[in-house]
Amino acid sequence: MLKNKKGVLLVAVYLVVGVLLGILGVCVYKNIYEAKVNIGYKHYMMAFYCAEAALDKGIANLPSSTSGQTNVSLNAVGGTQQGQYTYTISTVEAGKRWRVESWGYSPSQADAVVTQHLEAYVSKKDLPDSFWDNAIYTAGNVRVNGSAYDIDGDIIYGGSLLPAVLDPAKFSGTSTNDASISPLIKLDFETMRTTAASQIKADGSDNVYTFMEIAAGNPPFPTSFWFDQTDPDPTKWVPNVVYVETDLVLNGNIGTIGGFFLVVGDVTTNPSSTSETVINGRGQIDGCIYSTGQFRVNGGGGADLNVLGGVWAGTDGVRINGSVHLGYNEDYMNAIRDVIQPGSTVQVISWRRL
């Protein structure tokens, strides 16, 4: 009887030990598998980051250089190599369109565990006459709500016009759908910012408005479209270039402000960022407004809000709510085009992983 009990106990011990070893084996296998997965994911992401960095570098060098680079190392802070990249640039249309192809390797091209392959098409659009000839130019939709608006000038849009037909008593121009104007042409923002920084107002401040300055409401905006009207030839007068590094939201009684407003946020450090213009008050803007994001007016009642110059907006479009008078000013447009001469810059039209 005692021997039988010992035998049963021994079998039970073996079973427990077997179960524990099985559990331990599963845990070890799981840890090894997860470690391999983590290492593989690390290589996957590093190769992608390298390919993306190569793509960004190739685009940044356009249009001045179409030379590629091979086996460029990306190193950690301590100098340890994390990965390598290669990129090539081919010309699709001279001076206007390019194909950038990039490869990212982790940990190196010679010993690549993972390779990522990306492709982007990049375009440099000219600034056509239609860019300067409209009260509203947007890569997105134009939505007009209510009946208290007044638009003097043409409208060109890349998306839809809502309603499809505007009241001719409130809209004096023509509306044109042109999908080719999307995405919105990007200007040479670095040059525009340099120009704005060089324009010093009477209070000693320049025309670059940072996030902190906009939040504080100080310094004030220029009160005229013109920065310098001293030349006897009016066609050589210099407009204010007002460079806004965040969203522009105007509330209450804004009085009269003027200039060529560039509402572009941190586009020089983050090219894909967008910033919007929102006007919730009353007053007058003597000038033209370029927003990488949406342009929206929520009205001011009666004829209390006037935007006299022209509006450009990105794919987020233009939305007009409430009462506003929005008009085209050819003199202002010509001054921006002929005196400031804002050139376009290259921008990504499409990209994909190959």
Listing DSSP states for 312-330 in one string gives EE-TT-EEE-S-EEEEE-H
pLDDT in tens, 28-62: 566 665 556 566 788 889 999 999 999 999 998 88
pTM summary value: 0.79
Residue 131: band (very low, low, confident or very high) from pLDDT cuts 50, 70, 90: very high
Tokens of 71: 């086996």
Q: Residue 114 forms beta bridges with which residues?
A: 106
pLDDT in tens, 195-253: 999 999 999 999 999 999 998 888 999 999 999 999 999 999 999 999 999 999 998 88
Cα 127 from Cα 147, distance rounded (Å): 33
Q: 167-185 in b/e burial notation, b at 16+ Cβ within 10 A?
A: eeeebebebeeeeebebbb
- How many CB atoms are closer than 10 A to CB 73? 16
Please report the beta strands in 15-96, taking only residues with DSSP state E, as ranges in sequence order.
69-75, 81-93
User: Token pair of 315, please?
Assistant: 């794919």
- Taking the CA of residue 16 as centre, how many other CA atoms within 13 Å lie in the half-sphere pointing to its CB? 6
User: ∠30-31-33 over CA atoms, to 5°?
Assistant: 65
Q: Under 8 Å CB-to-CB from 252, ≥6 apart: which residues?
A: 280, 281, 282
Q: Quote the Cα angle for 63-122-310, to 5°.
A: 90
The SS3 of residue 78 is: coil
Assess contact for 163 and 184: CB atoms under 8 A.
no
DSSP SS3 for 110:
coil
Q: Which of these, 97, 74, 98, 77, lies nearest to 85 by C-alpha position?
A: 74
Q: What is the pLDDT of residues 6-24, one digit of tens each?
A: 566 666 666 666 666 667 6
Q: Which carries the bigger pLDDT value, residue 161 or residue 1?
A: 161
| CA 157/CA 315 separation, integer angstroms | 9
Q: In this prediction, what percent of the chain has a pLDDT beyond 90?
A: 65
**Rounded mean pLDDT of 87-114?**
93
pLDDT band at 285; cut points 50, 70, 90: very high
* Coil/strand/helix, residue 128: coil
d(CA 261, CA 214): 13
Neighbours of 336 (CB within 10 A): 22
Confidence of residue 78 (pLDDT cuts 50, 70, 90): confident
Ranges of each domain in the chain: 1-124, 129-347
Sequence letter at residue 25: G
| Residue in the structure block whose two tokens are 């992983």 | 353
> Per-residue pLDDT tens for 252-278?
888 999 999 999 999 888 878 899 999
Q: Which two tokens stand for residue 55?
A: 């793509």
